[in-house]
Amino acid sequence: MAEEASRPFAGLSDVSIPEDIPVEGDISVPVGASRRDDEYSTLDEPVKETILRDLRAVGKKFIHVLYPKRSSALLRDWDLWGPLLLCVTLALLLQGGAADSDDQGGPQFAEVFVIIWFGSIVITLNSKLLGGTISFFQSLCVLGYCIMPLTVAMAVCRIVLIGGSGTVSFAVRLVVVTASFGWSTFASTAFLADSQPPNRKALVVYPVFLFYFVIGWMILTFSPSQ
């Protein structure tokens, strides 16, 4: 038996180990590591629970945007589900504008989609270039979630527009969109500003301002087809 055990080493006989290193130790199989994986396993849970858990996480982040205190919850576990949801909702609400019938002018679904994602990417790259310490997807997540006030404003505008499109309705829409635009900008700045060098906050905020301004303006000028 001892001979058999020694045979595999025969080929390595010329490897020399200095004698002053004691060759000893004890055998211990790491058992704890595999058990930790089991706790996080979501393979055998019902699909409903999985979806509900994700939705709950998205809902929590919505609350963070509505009440923007300087917390890092939105930054720490980012996801892109919320932004996708908001973006699709906004694009669907903006669909079917007045000019849409004769195939011109009105914001198309794809256009809204592209503006939101392209704009977020540009802002993120800009903040990276200015020396921000935030990761790419964290920034996308924050910018996407902060569209929420504008989406709400869009829904309100649609409801107001059902009542009619006179001067009063325009005034109401103007107030609502301006408020939500300010809210979006303020919330995203609250989350993003900490990751920037203090003297350059204005440079980072400007593209964010422009981005939400364009979206807000699109919402304000929207008029449904008769």
Partner 1 sequence: MSAGSGNRNTNTEPWGSFDDNLVQGGGAAVIDMENMDDTSGSSFEDMGEMHQRMKEEEEVSEEAAAADDDSPEDGEFLGMKGIKGQLGRQVADEVWRAGKRQASKAFNLYANIDILRPYFDVEPIQVRSRLIESMIPVRMINFPQKIAGELYGPLMLVFTLVAILLHGMKTSGTVIREGTLMGTAIGTCFGYWLGVSSFIYFLAYLVNAQITMLQMLSLLGYGLFGHCVVLFVTYNIHFHFLFYVLWLLVGGLSTLRMVAALLSRTVGKTPRLLLCGTLSLLHMLFLLYLHFSYHKIIEGLLDTLEGPNLSPIQRVARDVPELTLNATARSLGVTLMSH
Can residue 9 be called a binding residue for partner 1 (CB under 8 A)? yes
Can residue 137 be called a binding residue for partner 1 (CB under 8 A)? no
Q: Which residues contact 61 (CB under 8 A, 6 or more apart)?
A: 73, 74, 79, 82, 145
Kindly state the tokens that stand for 214: 């364009």
Task: Tell me if residue 45 falls in helix, strand or coil.
Answer: coil
Distance CA 213, CA 146 (A): 13
Can residue 129 be called a binding residue for partner 1 (CB under 8 A)? yes
In angstroms, give the least distance from the CB of 221 to partner 1. Answer: 6
Can residue 193 be called a binding residue for partner 1 (CB under 8 A)? no
With CB under 8 A as the contact rule, the residue among 104, 159, 167, 198 that binds partner 1 is 104
In angstroms, give the least distance from the CB of 27 to partner 1. Answer: 7
Can residue 217 be called a binding residue for partner 1 (CB under 8 A)? yes
Distance CA 151, CA 155 (A): 6
In angstroms, give the least distance from the CB of 95 to partner 1. Answer: 14
Can residue 30 be called a binding residue for partner 1 (CB under 8 A)? no
Residue nearer to partner 1 on the CB measure, 71 or 206 = 206
Distance CA 148, CA 183 (A): 9
Q: Which residues contact 100 (CB under 8 A, 6 or more apart)?
A: 106, 108, 225
With CB under 8 A as the contact rule, the residue among 125, 162, 174, 179 that binds partner 1 is 125
With CB under 8 A as the contact rule, the residue among 20, 25, 44, 167 that binds partner 1 is 25
Over its C-alpha atoms, the chain yields an Rg (Å, rounded) of 28
Length of the chain: 226
Half-sphere exposure of 170 (CA within 13 A, CB side): 6
In angstroms, give the least distance from the CB of 223 to partner 1. Answer: 11
Which residues are near partner 1 by CB under 8 A? 1-3, 5-6, 9-10, 12-13, 15-17, 19, 21-27, 99, 104-105, 108, 110-111, 114-115, 122, 125-126, 128-131, 199-200, 202-203, 206-207, 210, 213-214, 217, 221
